Amino acid sequence: MAPQPQLSAPSPASPRVGSAASTREERREHHQRLAELREQFNALRAQGAAASPEKMRAVIDELEALSPEGLDKRYFQTLRELLDISAQVQKHSQELQALSSSKAPEDVARREAILKEIQALSKRAVAQAQSLQAYVPAAPPTAKTP
C-alpha cells in the first residue's frame, strides 16, 4: 500500500498573520471614519444656528460610539446639552420674531418672559462650555492652534 500523503495542519502563525492584517485594516478604517466624523462635526459647527440639530446629534452619537474607551463620556453628554440649549434658544428666537410687532400686553409680557428664558439658557450654555473644557485633553505645547 502506498503511503498516504499527510495533510499538514495550518501553522499557528497563519491565522494570526491574517488576523493582524485585518486588525490593522479595521483600525485604519476606524481612524478614517473618526476623521470623517470630526470633519462633519466641524462643518456643522461652522454652520452655527443653520446646522441641523438632528445631523449634529447623529454625528455626536457616532463619535461617542467610535471614541476610545478612556474618553470621558461627560464630554459627549455636555455636547448634547449644548445642542439642546441651542435648539431651545432658536425656538425662542422664532417666537420672539412672531411677537415682535405686537403691542398687546400679553405679547409684551411673553416677550419679556422669553428674553429672561434666553438669558438663563445663555448662562447655562456658558457653564456647559466651561465644563466642556475640563473634558478635552490639553493640546501638546508644540501643537498649532487654529
pLDDT tens figures, 17-31 = 557 777 888 889 988
Residue-wise pLDDT tens digits, 75-129: 899 999 999 998 899 999 999 999 999 999 999 999 999 999 999 999 999 999 9
C-alpha cell at 22: 485585518
Residue 41 CB contacts under 8 Å (≥ 6 apart), including other chains: 56, 59, 60, 63
- Rounded to 10 degrees, what is the CA torsion of 131, 135, 136, 139? 100
The whole-number pLDDT of residue 69 equals 81
User: Is the pLDDT reported for residue 10 higher than 70?
Assistant: no
Alpha helices in the chain (DSSP H): 13-47, 53-66, 74-99, 105-135
**In angstroms, rounded to a whole number, what is the distance separating the alpha carbons of residues 39 and 136?**
17
The whole-number pLDDT of residue 22 equals 78
User: Is the pLDDT reported for residue 49 higher than 90?
Assistant: no
The whole-number pLDDT of residue 61 equals 93
pTM of the model: 0.70
**In angstroms, rounded to a whole number, what is the distance separating the alpha carbons of residues 122 and 4?**
82
